[in-house]
Structure 1
Amino acid sequence: MQDHSARPAAAAEDSPRGAEIAGIISEFSEIFASARTRWVRYAEEVHPELNGGGIMVLQTVLRKGPVTATGLSQMLGMDKAMVSRHISKLRDLELIEAEAAPEDRRVILLTVSERAQELMERIREQWAHSYHERFEGWSVESLEQLRAGLHRFNASAEDAHRAEGPAMRCARDHGGGAEDPRGTAG
């Protein structure tokens, strides 16, 4: 009798479903590589001192803000120290603003500056144009099927467990956990 428990992933790839999932993983890998390259290029367009990680943080604050540094760390799956470095740089470049939450002054909420909003709008236009070009010739039904599948896939991901405390209670309605983005209490 063979022990198949030692190689569950390999056995799964031998099935038609497993082969399809392996193909999807490969396609996602290409998407991620392309996105990383694009993020770096867009970061340079926003500011020459900005890198790919910084633009990801900025984009997340734009979409999810006001948000806290802890919330960003959880959303992006990044180490808190790395997020703090990105936030510090973004603040130095006047792309992110930080202020105490009205509900609890110890909680620091991050938002993008007006200048960053304008720059990111230009980037979004470029990004949208690029996607429109890539989806040229796709039917509305095919686009809807892709969107629905990606939505279902994204919705199935487990959310990170969040600790409850005064910062979390205060920031819950603001998109994330709390701490001063420069590493000190607000």
Structure 2
Amino acid sequence: MSPKDARITEIISEFSEIFTFARTRWARYAEGVHPELRGVGLMVLQLILKKGPVTATEISQMLDMDKATVSRQVANLREMDLVVAEPAAEDKRVTLLTPSPLAQEQFVKIRIAWAESYHERFSDWSMDDLEVLKLGLHRFNTASTDPAVDGPAARCSREQNHGLEAPPRSEPDAPAA
């Protein structure tokens, strides 16, 4: 095995650790929003919070997810009083989804908890260390040109940044998928 192959294997192992950490936190945060909420539902809710008002079809397209799956998740979110569905003013056949006040309140708590967990992990990192990590992750996330593996995160990152540094955010994003 070449040194580069060995290093890539080590990086894959580190990504596995990150995914395990994120999945565990994601499940905990979903449960914190509502005891019956699971990961996919949290992902749909997060998108509604960021993009709402939005239709189920738009969610399906943005998440590259089957519309039936999205519809089930939206129905569950409505039952949990986390999403409000209203007909669009310009076309009553179209249903627009927006986050409920309860969902908005819960996501403020999640954003704070998520930021705290990352601040804790990065507490002894320098600004240079953080910048190198950010640039490396951005480069990795935008490197895919294969449509089969070019997921929503990579597309959004390219669309938002166009190769430019993103402006600083006043508050951290909610957990990512």
Deviations 1:124-165 (A, max 9, x none): 10110010000010001111111122222223345969xxxx
Number of residues of Structure 1 aligned to a counterpart in Structure 2: 148
Stretches (4+) displaced over 6 A: none
For 2:61 and 2:86, the matched residues in 1 are separated by: 20
Residue aligning to 1:95: 82
Residue aligning to 1:29: 16
Q: CA RMSD in A?
A: 2.3
Q: How high is the TM-score relative to the length of structure 1?
A: 0.69
- Specify which of 129, 135, 138 is matched with residue 148 of structure 1: 135
Please tell me whether Structure 1 or Structure 2 has the larger radius of gyration of its CA atoms.
1
Q: How high is the TM-score relative to the length of structure 2?
A: 0.72
Residue aligning to 1:136: 123
Deviation at 1:38, TM superposition (A): 1.2
- Give matches, 1:13-92, under 5 Å: 14-92=1-79
1:78–1:27 distance in 2 versus 1, CA, 3 Å: farther
Corresponding residue SS for 1:49: coil
Deviations 1:68-95 (A, max 9, x none): 3233233334332222111111011111
For 1:160 and 1:15, the matched residues in 2 are separated by: 29
Residue aligning to 1:111: 98
Q: Percent identity?
A: 61
Deviation at 1:107, TM superposition (A): 3.6
For 1:118 and 1:156, the matched residues in 2 are separated by: 35
- By relative contact order (CA 8 Å, sep 6+), the higher-ranking structure is 1
Which 5+ residue runs of structure 1 have no aligned equivalent? 1-13, 162-186
For 1:96 and 1:109, the matched residues in 2 are separated by: 10
**Which amino acid in 2 is paired with 1:151?**
H
Corresponding residue SS for 1:145: helix
For 2:93 and 2:135, the matched residues in 1 are separated by: 40
For 1:49 and 1:82, the matched residues in 2 are separated by: 16
For 1:59 and 1:84, the matched residues in 2 are separated by: 15
Which 5+ residue runs of structure 2 have no aligned equivalent? 149-177
**Which shifted more, 79-88 or 135-144?**
79-88
Corresponding residue SS for 2:40: helix
